[in-house]
Chains A and B, each alone.
Chain A
Amino acid sequence: MAGRKGFDIVVVGAGHAGCEAAAAASAMGLRTCLVTIHLETIAQMSCNPAIGGLAKGHLVREIDALGGLMGLLADETGIQFRLLNRSRGGAVQAPRAQCDKAAYRLAMKHRLERIANLSIFQGIVAQVVVKKGAAAGVRTIDGTFLPAKAVIITPGTFLNGLIHIGLHSYPAGRANEPPSVELAEQLKKLGLRILRLKTGTPMRLDRDTIDWTAFTPQPGDDEPVPFSYRTRGPLKNKVDCHLGHTNAATHAVIRRNLAKSPLYGGKIKGIGPRYCPSIEDKVVKFPERARHQFFLEPEGIETTEVYVNGLSSSLPYEVQREILDTIPGLDQAKIVRPAYGIEYDAVSPTELFPTLETRKIRRLYLAGQINGTSGYEEAAAQGLMAGINAALAVKKKQPFVLRRDEAYIGVLIDDLVSSGVEEPYRLFTSRAEYRLMLRIDNTDRRLMGYGRELGLVPDAVWGEYLAKQERIAKAAAFLKKTRVKTEAGDSLSLCEFLKKPEIRLEDVLKWSEFPGALSDEESRFLESETKYEGYIRKQEREIAKAARADSMKIPGGIDFGRVPGLTREAVEKLEKKRPTTLGEARKISGMTPAAVQNVGLYLEILRKKGAQRPPVPRGTGPDDE
């Protein structure tokens, strides 16, 4: 454990955020300690046994390209793999895997245990020790002090966690695990703005008590697509998921028992996510729907537990039982763990810099569910970024912040820190302005260079990446150069053919053979780049233009009232928020693009005039010490 000099970095909580943070920080050469309540629950998937999906699968790829662990372990412990939206364009395809939960936990634990300068320590953190406005370590409830130069807090749903089943409730961080009360209270005292949020999880059933003939099997893909650039060898599907539906009788049971729901009974105050509605919510909000679908997903190979994706609920156990009774095939099923809802504290992410460091306390980083997000992938992505930035800060290096146009991670963190959250935040591809550019087939091109620079991408992976880029470049040139005659007699390049919506790369290569083999991944990349080309070029121009404008500094003493052509409302907003760059001004809600442009023009006036600029107020970013 702690050497005499203490640690460089302490990470609190070994969930999906904490594990990535600890792994990244230690891989960057820092002495790191990961403190968590139970070593058995390291990287526990609290809810569904799946990783990935639209936007989330994109995140996992990005984590992987930056040297994170989630993708590699999901591939390793996956038991069913699907590429979603396979029939659609490359930008909206994303991998998802059903994982063996127990195997995932163990795989992560083993991997962390093998990292040389990472210590793992079991303990409940009660307090962040703050000295002179900066985090200096943590203290556990048994009084142990772990000194550190930076602290990353990732306690998931544990802060003042309160579990609801029906009208009963009890304090817990996750089913039957202790909540973090002291830590929650201290964060409040440190002046961080606290939100109360809510989420829920469905019941788990005993596989052997389900009549499987009543459900439609959903097999995995024939040729599974891995998350990770480091995964070798083919992935194997080992289980099927199954599709089922609720019916009128189910809905009647739910309606009859709504008063017993803590939410509809008014007991839950926290705000829940709309995109993970409980079955109660679905029935109430969409009364016209005769049925709702659900999936039966195995929780692993060595267990008979089955997760009922779609029946999340916080109704009492007896009602959950009654619900199952109405569904043919589940009427005999045994509930091994009841569904429950949980309320917990989170910190408003507007308290954070884009590095995930708090604005109020230096060297204190927050990542994962605590920042108002939900989902393993969102947590892991933040954990990775917090780990990297804490490490960079300790090393006194420039912070690492991704832009919205280069990664979903950039979209995620920017959304969080600049707009805050009102309900648990989940990433969607439609949150990205440049969706056609943020694809799984170009993630390495977008991000692996950064990962390499940070020291998180091993030589072998980097070497393969370079070789792949060379193949791609050759193939792209070949597609441009090679021309074929159409039936009408004109000559078209393979590239131009490939632009047609129904044409795939394999089709054009039938007309003219490419000397060299391309992987599926490489083909997908070439297809996307060709089919989206016009849009991509246009977006690149927009990005370049916006970047130039957004980076424009707004002097501290500027009088917005003197900016020509602004409405009074715009002036008031600007005076109130006092943005320091044009980019920040743009983000103020209600600012029109025209108003922002006027501010930009005015700034250029000031600059050209060489007017005295008052110094820009100093940020408290990790790099200024």
Chain B
Amino acid sequence: MLEDTIIAVATPPGFGGLGVVRISGKRALAVAGRVFEAKSGGKRPFPVRRPIFGTIRDPERRAALDEAFLTYFKAPRSYTREDVVELSVHGSPAVLESILRLGAKAGARLARPGEFTLRAHLNGRLDIIQAEAVNDLIRSVSLTQARISSRQLGGSLSRRIARLRGRLISLLAAVEAGLEFPEEGLRSGPAAWRRSLSAIVSDIDRLVLSHEAGRALSQGVTLAITGRTNVGKSTLFNALLEEDRAIVTPFPGTTRDFLREELVIDGIVFHLVDMAGLGRAAHPVEKRGIARGQRIAREADGLLLVIDASRAWSEEDERLVRRYLSRNAILVMNKTDLPGKVDRKKVRAIAGENPIVEVSALRGKNIDALRGAIRARFAPRTPETEEVILHARQQNCLQEALGALRRAEKLLAKRHSEEVPAEEIRAAISFIGELTGEVRAEEVLEEIFGRFCVGK
């Protein structure tokens, strides 16, 4: 098993800043080389332990996905004591997912939870107690996720997958019945099988597409609180979290670095980020903080754009709002306990489709309404009938199944003898089985005898 090369995101999920994809194993460099292109013209082998700058590219589409740093740790001087390559990117979950997908295509296997640590241990880097401690941590994270996702889905995803699997088994049974009982004069044939194959293929396809929504569900949605200094961002942050987490002072420029906390609304995890307000920076630290804040705001899944309603509308407000208009945002008019100085109509006109919520963060007024608005605007949409695929691993299984079924379709179209497409359908069932449990030959036989009158 240690011969596989494994790949996974090493940073916590949903993290707004930096994201690290780690690849470990004999083929780590080769896999990384498939997705990463050095700016300097791709001198390989990559230097050891020295980050080099470049871009992540989909080797098939040639499109650059993101800029990245690649760092190569040569065995045994690495976390796992195997060859390790770390790709640091900006960390938007979508980019991370794509890298995993590309990596898997290039021959790496998605790591199981804790597997890097296990390997580190296997290779003598950590002792077992350390390894388990790390693993417990990883497990607790996924347990929270599991709880959330199971509440969200009520097991309907597994039911949907079970149904798909059922359809595949009955398709396989039809094919097998013909092979096992050539003298029974069974009528169903390649044309019918191709029809049910293509129906199944398009269903799996839909599931795969729903993956985006699923990712948000399992990893949480990152929400950045942004706005000018002193508008009450930190106060709002605390009010939403219902605890005094961020420091609040009457002075502009209080928050310098960013703060990140989990906010759960109706079982959905939001990663709420408070950060330095935008404005003229007095201090280099502040300047840094602002730049960083801007980047987080850029990459967040959604924004809470805070405006101080007790102060006159300024050009700066206008610029700010316009700048984030195209983004998924809620305009929060704060300090509504004080006499209002802002023309609501004007704001309404600028805000376009983005909702406006008036609150007083200090007094806790309308905070519940804001929560509702957050849920309505940013919660991943899970249409009732459409299911979502939660994890990259599930996604991977489905894609493998899809590949096998598409090959089966082709084989049938080319009139290959049925035992060959049957092989592909079996493979697809076992990939789907990895999601829900194994398939036994017995199940196919049960189906054959349940549906076809065969045997003497």
Contacts and interface: CB of A to CB of B under 8 A. Distances in A.
A514 interface: no
B417 A285 contact: no
A556 interface: no
A89 interface: yes
Given A276-B456, A564-B135, A565-B113, A89 B180 contact: no
Interface string B245-271: 000000000000000000000000000
Contacts of A594: 112, 434
A52 interface: no
B318 interface: no
Given A88-B417, A501-B416, A274 B185 contact: no
A394 interface: no
A208 B273 CA distance: 93
B66 interface: no
Interface in B401-455: 414-420, 422-423, 434, 437-438, 441, 444-445, 449, 453-455
Interface string B102-145: 00000000001111001001111000100110010001000000
Interface string A348-377: 000000000000000000000000000000
A109 B11 CA distance: 75
B128 A609 contact: yes
B184 interface: yes
B182 interface: yes
Given A85-B179, A565-B135, A604 B438 contact: no
**Which of B123, B414, B419 has the most C-beta atoms of chain A within 10 angstroms of its own C-beta?**
B419
A284 to B, nearest CB: 11
Contacts of B445: 275, 428, 430-431
B110 to A, nearest CB: 11
A435 interface: yes
A213 B121 CA distance: 78
B417 A593 contact: no
A54 interface: yes
A598 interface: yes
Contacts of A531: 420
Contacts of B181: 54
A601 B416 contact: no
Given A274-B449, A565-B135, A597-B112, A608 B123 contact: yes
A292 interface: yes
A564 B115 CA distance: 9
A594 B431 CA distance: 12
B124 A608 contact: yes
A88 B418 contact: yes
B242 interface: no
B362 interface: no
B212 interface: no
Nearest to A289: B453
Interface in A402-458: 428-431, 435-436
B165 to A, nearest CB: 14
B317 interface: no
B132 A55 contact: no
A91 interface: yes
B438 A592 contact: yes
Contact of A501 (B121, B124, B414): B414
Contacts of B183: 84, 295
A4 interface: no
Contacts of A222: none
B456 A89 contact: no
A600 B1 contact: yes
Contacts of B209: none
Nearest to B452: A286
Interface string A193-213: 000000000100000000000
Nearest to A606: B128
Contact of A605 (B118, B139, B455): B118
Interface residues of A, number: 56
Contacts of B139: 564-565
**Which of A292, A431, A590, A591 has the most C-beta atoms of chain B within 10 angstroms of its own C-beta?**
A431
A98 interface: no
Q: What interface size band does chain B fall in?
A: 35 or more
Contact of B415 (A55, A501, A549): A501
Contacts, number: 126
A46 interface: no
B291 interface: no
A431 B135 CA distance: 38
B123 A502 contact: no
A55 B445 CA distance: 14
B97 interface: no
B182 A84 contact: yes
Interface in A283-303: 285-286, 289, 292-295
B21 to A, nearest CB: 20
B176 interface: yes
Given A428-B445, A605-B131, A501 B122 contact: no
B48 interface: no
A38 to B, nearest CB: 26
Contacts of B75: none
A308 B33 CA distance: 67
B417 A501 contact: yes
A604 B444 CA distance: 35
B2 interface: yes
Contact of B121 (A294, A429, A535, A605): A605
A549 B1 contact: yes
Interface string A47-74: 0100000110000000000000000000
Given A54-B180, A89-B420, A428-B180, A601 B414 contact: no
A92 interface: yes
**Which of A564, A565, A597, A602 has the most C-beta atoms of chain B within 10 angstroms of its own C-beta?**
A564
Contacts of B434: 592-594
A429 B455 contact: no
Interface string A376-416: 00000000000000000000000000000000000000000
B449 A275 contact: yes
Given A293-B184, A430-B176, A597 B1 contact: yes
Interface in A259-307: 273-277, 282, 285-286, 289, 292-295
Contacts of B179: 54, 85, 88, 92, 429-430
Contacts of A87: 417
A309 B417 CA distance: 28
Contacts of B420: 89, 436, 531-532, 535
A562 interface: yes
A292 B185 CA distance: 10
A535 B114 contact: no
Contacts of B128: 605, 609
Nearest to B454: A275
27 contacts: A55-B180, A85-B179, A87-B417, A88-B179, A92-B179, A275-B454, A289-B453, A295-B456, A309-B456, A310-B456, A429-B179, A430-B180, A435-B419, A501-B414, A501-B415, A502-B415, A535-B423, A564-B113, A564-B114, A564-B132, A565-B113, A590-B437, A592-B437, A604-B1, A605-B122, A605-B128, A605-B131
Given A565-B139, A592-B438, A605-B121, 8 more contacts: A48-B456, A54-B182, A92-B179, A282-B453, A430-B422, A436-B420, A600-B1, A608-B121
Q: Kindly list the 4 A-B residue pairs having the minimum CB-CB distance in the complex, ordered from nearest.
A: A89-B417, A275-B455, A274-B449, A88-B417
